[in-house]
A and B are shown apart, each in its own frame.
Chain A
Amino acid sequence: MKNVLMATAATLLATTAMAEVNIGNPMAMTGPIPDLNAPIAQAVDLAATHINDQGGMFEAGEAFNIIRADSACDPVAAVDAVTKLINVNGVAAIVGPVCSGAAIAQAESVSIPAGVVTLSVSASSPAITSMEDGTDLVFRAAASDAYQGVALAELAMANGMMDIAVSYANDDYNAAIAEVFVKAYQGMGGTVTANEAHEPNKASYRSEVATIGATSENLALFSYYGSGGITLMRNALETGAFMNFIGADGMLSDELIEQIGAENLMTSTFTTSASDSSTPSFAAWAELADAAGVPASDPFVANGYDATFMMALAIEHAGSADREAIAESLRAIASGPGVMILPGQWAEAKVLLAAGFNINYEGAAGNQDFDENGDVAGNFSKSTIVDGAWAAELIQ
């Protein structure tokens, strides 16, 4: 009991020192994907820094404060973390979590009953689209797998891959996107020669690779690079089982180049929900990210920035940190009509909102216009190796 009292005292001191806007940020800091998570957290912090440096929140310049908690990609931890964020820290809204399982659990268990808005950074499960029953509190800054899988199938067909083998990590993200991909690909006339799950985090995937390698020279690999994806690719390359590789954003990382070597990745193409790097949004974002040492193109990093920035814009638009008004404001600032706001343009946005203008935030990871379910449409880019690094190209 004493611990609780001490803890609440500590947080009271920490959070009520001055008037500030508190946002809860449950992230998967421990758990299965810490290396995927770390740059996303950096992006969230970067957004907060920009906001605070460029005038803070409201007229009084209140601090925009990110309260981070550990959701561990685990429903149990997420529910506990968000309970504390909402009840003890009294946050205005939730930006996060990273994993679909954690996001769904905390939303259904805590944040929807409490009437608090959740804007997930990267949860992509199709289940989130139809999750709500009459409320409008759950949004996400990343496209549902339902879109990316289709985009990937189109990419495969466009690259002339008439048959393909599929291997997916048996976790919620990769299994879902693999399923969508297979359906779409078959619908477009392609042949799926093998479709097998693999357990994440194993030391060797040689037998998996050998089993499906005989069936096709193309591989669709759905896995997190840090949870076995790199190992599987390495095993495939060592044995020469596959010539061509495609996959989704779980694999897209500089770590892949670091560990396998760019020269071995010449025939690999991975997609991610990012916008064309030639759009002004992404260019603005890349500049900011590079200056701050945040990897601009790593999976979901740009989405992390967008989610945080949008939440701040929404609260600024609503005029107060009142929980009820945020959902409506979130929709208002995300879509047109309105003056276009790019990543990093907090000062401009503040001025416009104060003067009563509408704004439309175009995010680094896509235009971030919410549909009626709180989803964003899929804008995808494919990345191939050019000069030893990933180069992205928008898929039309």
Chain B
Amino acid sequence: MEAYVGYFLYFLSLLTVGGIYAIFALGLNVQWGFAGLFNVGIVGFAAVGAYTYALLTTAGSTFHLGGFGLPLPFGMFMGMALSGVIAGLIGLICIRLRSDYLAIATIGIAEIIKLILKNETDITNGPRGINKIPRAWEHFSETRFYTDWPMSWFGTPENWEAFFDSLPNWYWQPLFAATIILSMYVIYRMLERARTSPWGRMMTAIRENEPAARAAGKDVTRRRIEAFVIGASIMGLAGALFAQHLRLIEPTNTFDPSKVTFLVWVMLITGGSGNNRGAILGAFLIWTIWSASELVISGGIELVENIFSTLDPSILQTRAGFLRMMLIGILMQVILQRYPGGILPEVRPASPKAENDTREPTGETK
């Protein structure tokens, strides 16, 4: 029985983390899929969102700025807002750059953001990071929450304590996973509306043929900045959720570009850039492969060990970890070459004329 609970919890964790990555991918899709902006600085926006949330909601501490004890949703909202603001500033400066220049600039800016977070130790506790980050739904069972309003309106601390003791210790996991999936769904619907709206059509026009769009009088720069900011805010939210999942964030290892930025790009390209459903699919698929591949590789190593008992197992294990990264890299190359549109290629929003047209959409994507 316990084994089944274990598998269920692992499945929930796949949903949780996959969902967070899906939100990242949706944000990237706004920047890349809608507006054709090559943002390789995802990690920077994630860090801003995560740290804002952490600083606003953690308890007071001698190590870092804190003690505001603001409500969790407000913390998440501020994470989104601050990410958006910073994206706006970056956008004002960089949006005119061509694709690979923008890529280099965004990587550089993300690294600078991380350096600031690392060096301003009075605020952020520097490389040691911020821990005890309250996690949605689980935070109710923490003393400092149930002794304070609004929970204290509904019961005394003793009642609350008894209540939480009676729940299984994983009670919050389904709720947390559900919250993330719900947020993902809400964002998805909003983006789908945006895609088929006049704004979305204009973004596609700008992306496909900028001179024509300009000639038609569209303010290309402003639209691009809008897309950049919206995408970054979504990434900020994902960053705040990420902080809740980990409960500890620090500037060097948590926000490693080869894990966060690169994985999200692989997810989007695999799932189908330009397609919101593709972003979600890609996120869950790649995360499951990434997470489960460790199990498969360890199982594989055990098999190899049993067959070749002379090999030194610890060397094999250490080096096998790097194989995972290599396989994901190769996977991406294969997808880029064979299935450039991804699994779910972009679907153009139907125009009134196209509805009367019986031709298939070209399903092309950049």
The answer to whether any beta carbons of A and B sit under 8 Å apart in the complex is: yes
Complexed CA–CA distance, A273 and B219 (Å): 64
Interface readout for A9-23 with B: 1 if CB under 8 Å, 0 if not? Answer: 011011000000000
In the complex, the answer to whether A90 meets B3 with C-beta atoms within 8 Å is yes
- Chain B residues with CB under 8 Å of A80's CB are 13, 17, 291, 294
Give the interface centre of B10, B249, B313 by most chain A CB atoms within 10 Å.
Answer: B10
- Chain B residues with CB under 8 Å of A70's CB are 294, 321
Complexed CA–CA distance, A42 and B142 (Å): 39
Partner of B131, one of A3, A127, A175: A127
In the complex, the answer to whether B253 meets A8 with C-beta atoms within 8 Å is no
- Chain A residues with CB under 8 Å of B300's CB are 10
A-B contact count (CB 8 A): 165
Nearest A-chain residue to B244, judged by Cβ: A109
In the complex, the answer to whether B259 meets A76 with C-beta atoms within 8 Å is yes
In the complex, the answer to whether B296 meets A6 with C-beta atoms within 8 Å is yes
In the complex, the answer to whether A172 meets B127 with C-beta atoms within 8 Å is yes
Partner of B298, one of A69, A74, A197: A69
Interface-facing stretch out of A31-39, A210-218, A236-244, A373-381: A31-39
- Chain B residues with CB under 8 Å of A133's CB are 142-143
Is B99 interfacial (CB-CB < 8 Å)?
no
Nearest A-chain residue to B289, judged by Cβ: A3
Interface of A is mostly: helix
Given A42-B314, A101-B253, A176 contacting B128 (CB threshold 8 A): yes
Partner of A11, one of B256, B293, B299: B299
Is B149 interfacial (CB-CB < 8 Å)?
no
Given A29-B317, A175-B128, A83 contacting B9 (CB threshold 8 A): yes
Is A391 interfacial (CB-CB < 8 Å)?
no
Interchain residue pairs with CB less than 8 A apart (29): A3-B288, A6-B296, A13-B299, A30-B322, A31-B253, A32-B253, A67-B298, A69-B294, A75-B129, A75-B248, A76-B259, A77-B259, A80-B294, A83-B13, A84-B10, A84-B291, A84-B294, A84-B295, A87-B7, A88-B7, A104-B131, A104-B247, A109-B245, A113-B169, A115-B169, A127-B128, A133-B142, A175-B128, A176-B128
Q: Please name 14 further chain A to chain B contacts, defined as beta carbons within 8 Å, in addition to the given A101-B250, A170-B127, sorted by A numbering.
A: A7-B295, A10-B300, A32-B253, A37-B318, A76-B254, A80-B13, A83-B13, A86-B6, A90-B3, A104-B248, A105-B131, A113-B169, A170-B118, A175-B127
Residues of B whose CB lies within 8 Å of any CB of A are 2-3, 5-7, 9-10, 13-14, 17, 63, 118-119, 121, 126-129, 131-133, 135, 138, 142-143, 169-170, 172, 242, 245-250, 252-254, 256, 259-260, 288-289, 291-296, 298-300, 302, 313-314, 317-318, 321-322, 325
